[in-house]
Chain A
Amino acid sequence: MKNFSAITHAHVWVLDHQEALDFYVGKLGLEVKADFTRGGFRWLTVGVEGEAIPEITLDVPGPPVMDERTAAQVRDLVTKGATGVVLVLRTDDCFATYERLRAQGVEFTQEATDHGYGIDCGLRDPFGNQIRILQPKAWQGKEGRA
């Protein structure tokens, strides 16, 4: 018997909710799934349009979850790119998505490239988090060395 049936939520640190919305919704084209505030804590999630899960919570480090000193440490790590790849987004046409997003000023770290396992590209959100966009295909194995 499996312990779990799905991954429903994952989380990304952002430095500002509005700037995060401008990027994740305004530029990447994700949609807001939940947005409410309780006791100074804002629960903001985004996801792929039409897909129920997963929802990505966009959290700003700080009180009441952590003290300001700890929040400064988190912000330090995010802005120097130490959070690693936080999301991999699937697309049906990586080259087209890459061109569209690039035209909107999205900061790409790697252009769309065919790697054999699929076509992918890399970008950063405004804060330093790394995101990949992948158009997967069945791995064929490297010729002669599979």
Chain B
Amino acid sequence: MRGRVDTDDLDDRLRRGLGFAHPGLDLPAVTRALEDRNRRLLRARDAMDRTYAEPLDIPALARIAGVSEAHFIRTFRTTFGETPHRYLQRRRVERSMWLLRETDRSVTEICLDVGFSSLGTFSRTFRGIVGASPAAYRRSSAPVPGAVPACFTMAWARPSSFGEAGRPSPPVESAHEELQRHHPRSRLGP
């Protein structure tokens, strides 16, 4: 893998528009650093997908991503368009939807299975994302056809939080756009 660049420092410099105005700036190195950060944040997001039933451990995720705790939530949101907390909520709700459809476990059991500690929070979060209560969703849903691979189900069945009414989410910004915003006159390449 390519060498690490201190992206916290990079972030600060991008945010303040500092350090990129001089003509000797190596812009390819900057985009590489942002791509490396993308990849490490993706590693942290994968870890969240695996350990969705455990409490959100920001310090551990920040270590995986190689960014400071203080920067983790913001850089995650910049990269993926939603906070780690929201991403985890959607992952848990996706798992609970599957359990509601495919098993006979009670709503309370499922709530605990997917990592919520309170039925109230689970129901409120579920309703906010799905638009129906867990019990109503269970009554209305048909099982997903069995031959669809689980990874596909995980991807398409995950409820979106990007198009919810009345809750506009921030646009996802590419590293390139981020760079352009902070340093609008920059040009990539030689």
Contacts and interface: CB of A to CB of B under 8 A. Distances in A.
Interface of A: 15, 19, 67-69, 72-73, 75-81, 84-85, 107, 109-110, 113, 115-117, 120, 122, 124, 126-128, 130, 132, 134, 139, 141-142, 145-146
Given A68-B189, A69-B176, A76-B174, A120 B34 contact: no
A69 B46 contact: no
Chain B's interface size range is 20 to 34
A127 B149 contact: no
Given A120-B151, A132-B149, A145-B143, A73 B39 contact: no
B42 interface: yes
Contacts of B45: 81
Secondary structure call for the A interface: mixed
A66 to B, nearest CB: 11
B176 A76 contact: yes
Main DSSP-derived SS at the B contact region: helix
- The 3 lowest CB-CB distance pairs between A and B, nearest first, are A68-B189, A79-B38, A79-B35
B151 to A, nearest CB: 6
Contact of A75 (B1, B35, B187, B189): B35
Given A72-B188, A85-B151, A141-B146, A126 B1 contact: yes
Contact of B39 (A115, A127, A141): A127
Given A72-B175, A76-B175, A85-B152, 4 more contacts: A19-B1, A79-B38, A84-B155, A109-B50
B189 A15 contact: no
B36 interface: yes
Contacts, number: 84
Contacts of B49: 109-110
A117 B147 contact: yes
Given A120-B151, A122-B151, A142-B146, A128 B176 contact: no
A109 B46 contact: yes
B150 interface: yes
B100 interface: no
A79 B176 contact: no
Contacts of A134: 149
B189 A76 contact: no
Contacts of A15: 35
B189 A67 contact: yes
A146 B146 CA distance: 8
